Amino acid sequence: MKCRILIVIIFIGNSFITLAQDSSLNGITKQAAENSIKSKLASPFGAAALSNFISNISVSSVLKEGVNGKIELRGKFKAGWIGGLSIDQKIGKIGEEAAPLSITGISPGTTVQLNLQKMFWHPSFRMSDAQVAKLNSAEEAYAKRNNIDDFLTVGLRDISINGLEIEKKMALDAFNTIHFREPVFVNAAIGFTKTSFSYTTDSVNLTQVNNAYVTPTFTISVIKALGSGFKVGGYFAISYNYSESYTAADDITFNIPFGTTSNYYSNTLAFGKPGKQTINTLIVEYRQNIFIKNGNRSVSNIAISPSVNWNIDGKMMGAFLPVYFIRGADDRGKLLDGLQGGMRFGYISSTEKGNAASFSKGFTAQLIISAPLDFLNSL
Amino acid sequence: MNIQIKTIAEGCHLSVNVKIQNQVLLNLTDNDEGRVNIFSGMTYRFEWFVFAAQESHVRIEAVVTPENDGFHPMVLDKNYPAGAQDGNVFLFTLN
């Protein structure tokens, strides 16, 4: 009888230990998931599925988190291929300078990412020869009236802006027959992040161990560009991200006697090795460019890009609403050089029932400043 | 005879098709160059498309060799503001 009671007690005890371990593991997974989502938020343009069109250097400041700097180099190749290399460095809350690379490789807090993007685009007019011939006749008349030497150089957009009402309608009707008018992009990115940790596994001497870990991240995105009439409206994107990361164990403060005196000093250390986590995230993003008419010219002034990140493992959700203030154009239509800015608002919460974070706890905001690297555009 | 086409896309995407009876004989994308043999008496279709997410410039140069009254050398040179799409289609028949 005593033996049975002992077995039951051991079983119950083991169950509690297992539950505690599961709870601890669950907590670490959640922390890793939250970090994964936050890292996208911290990185300038980090949540955007479509890579930047131009090389640029950007800085983002995140409320309560610190500052990230990023340099992104773009190269355009034949047949719709675009490649890129970016270096993203966490500068910290109070840091004044950052060194993404050191003689031993990338510095802690740095992510180096390679990116390859392929465009699939096969537009084609769905018009009969008779319809094209009729359109060409109208274009000849338009060209003659506007003193254009060769009507073959007239674009349907020109007619939609400067033509007669009947010509505008004809141009738009012809343009709307185009099959596969907006491209689809497939974007793949692989990156490596270096993170350093200080911890101890020795509760007697509290010997501090400093270790750096390099963890991979991989993202694949499918992006469908959206258009309306002669305008590019934005895009819709679905992405999958796999990442590995390490999460520090909880900090513990030890009070240690100072020599043989009656004084004590305290030492705060993470007790135990950092835990490794693999994180799988699905991201849905929609981008809408808002154009403000300036005479006959459309100028892109604002773009909004709401996205939802759902972390499968950690049951975490992050919703972002970036608002980009895109550089405008001068009165001759030349885009203005210089800084572009943006604000990004985010809310991160658990998706487990009843565990939604309060707005003040889950809310985060980011300021982005970006400058184009024009001298690299010829790459 | 052949038609030779050169395309330049700065800051945007550009696609050019030469087709006959809905079959693509030549497709050029962005910065590209190519040629295709074409014949007298046949009607061909020339299509071009621009997708410009940012301010951009395109240039299309097309020439038939040897010279033919059915297609005079063409130079299309255009600038686009951010967020513009454009395109056109025309028919040509070589003599």
**In this predicted structure, which of A187-196, A326-335, B10-19 has the lowest mean pLDDT?**
A326-335
Q: Report the residue of chain A nearest B84, measured CA to CA.
A: A231
More confident of the two residues A117 and A41: A117
pLDDT at A2: 56
By the CB < 8 Å criterion, does A75 face chain B? no
- Helix A165-175 vs helix A129-145: crossing angle, to nearest 10: 140
What is the nearest CA distance from B43 to chain A, expressed in angstroms? Answer: 9
Quick check: A57 pLDDT over 80? no
pLDDT, tens only, A299-346: 556 778 888 988 887 778 888 888 877 655 544 445 455 566 778 788
Query: Domain total for chain B?
Result: 1
CB contact under 8 A, A121 and B15: yes
CA distance linking residue A30 with residue A40, whole number of Å: 16
CA distance linking residue A168 with residue A172, whole number of Å: 6
Quick check: A17 pLDDT over 50? no
Q: Mean pLDDT across the stretch A138-145?
A: 95
What is the nearest CA distance from B29 to chain A, expressed in angstroms? Answer: 6
More confident of the two residues A140 and A261: A140
More confident of the two residues A372 and A334: A372
CB contact under 8 A, B31 and A78: yes
Contact B11, B55 (CB under 8 A): yes
Domain residue ranges in chain A: 2-121+186-197+205-245+275-376, 129-170
Residues within 8 A of B (CB atoms), A 228-257 only: 229-233
Q: Mean pLDDT across the stretch A350-361?
A: 71
- Using CB atoms, pick whichever of B32, B54, B85 lies closest to residue A78: B32
Q: Report the residue of chain B nearest A132, measured CA to CA.
A: B90
**In chain A, which residues have their Cβ closer than 8 Å to the Cβ of B86?**
155-158, 230
Quick check: A34 pLDDT over 90? no
Quick check: A124 pLDDT over 60? yes
Element (H, E) at B35: strand B32-37
pLDDT at B59: 97
What is the nearest CA distance from B88 to chain A, expressed in angstroms? Answer: 6
Tokens of A333: 């239509």
Q: How confident is the model at residue A146 (pLDDT cuts 50, 70, 90)?
A: very high
**In chain A, which residues have their Cβ closer than 8 Å to the Cβ of B53?**
53, 225, 232
Quick check: A227 pLDDT over 80? yes
Q: How confident is the model at residue B83 (pLDDT cuts 50, 70, 90)?
A: confident
Q: How many residues does chain A have?
A: 379
pLDDT, tens only, A152-188: 999 999 999 999 999 999 999 999 999 999 999 999 9
- Bridge partners of residue A186, in order along the sequence: A118, A222
pLDDT at A42: 56
Residue type, A247: T
**In this predicted structure, which of A43-47, A49-53, A344-348 has the lowest mean pLDDT?**
A43-47
Cis peptide before A183 (omega within 30 of 0): no
More confident of the two residues A320 and A51: A320
Neighbours of A341 (CB within 10 A): 14
pLDDT at A240: 93
Enter the CATH code of domain A2-121+186-197+205-245+275-376. Answer: 2.40.160.40
Mean pLDDT of chain B: 94
By the CB < 8 Å criterion, does A325 face chain B? no
Mutate to test the interface with A, among B89, B92, B93 (most CBs of A within 10 A): B89
What is the nearest CA distance from B55 to chain A, expressed in angstroms? Answer: 7
CB contact under 8 A, A326 and B82: yes
Domain that holds residue B46: 2-93
What is the nearest CA distance from B21 to chain A, expressed in angstroms? Answer: 9
Quick check: A96 pLDDT over 50? no
pLDDT at A243: 87
CB contact under 8 A, A333 and B55: yes
Contact A160, A213 (CB under 8 A): no
Q: Report the residue of chain A nearest B13, measured CA to CA.
A: A80
**Cβ-Cβ contacts under 8 Å for A306 (sequence gap 6 or more):** A285, A286, A319, A320, A321, A322
Q: How confident is the model at residue A91 (pLDDT cuts 50, 70, 90)?
A: low
Mean pLDDT of chain A: 76
Q: For the complex shown, is ipTM > 0.85?
A: yes
Q: Mean pLDDT across the stretch A124-146?
A: 95
Could you tell me what percent of chain A has a pLDDT over 90? 25
pLDDT, tens only, B26-69: 999 999 999 999 999 999 999 999 999 878 899 999 999 999 99
Q: Report the residue of chain A nearest B8, measured CA to CA.
A: A78
pLDDT at A377: 41
pLDDT at A6: 52
CA distance linking residue A212 with residue A108, whole number of Å: 7
By the CB < 8 Å criterion, does A152 face chain B? yes
What is the nearest CA distance from B33 to chain A, expressed in angstroms? Answer: 10
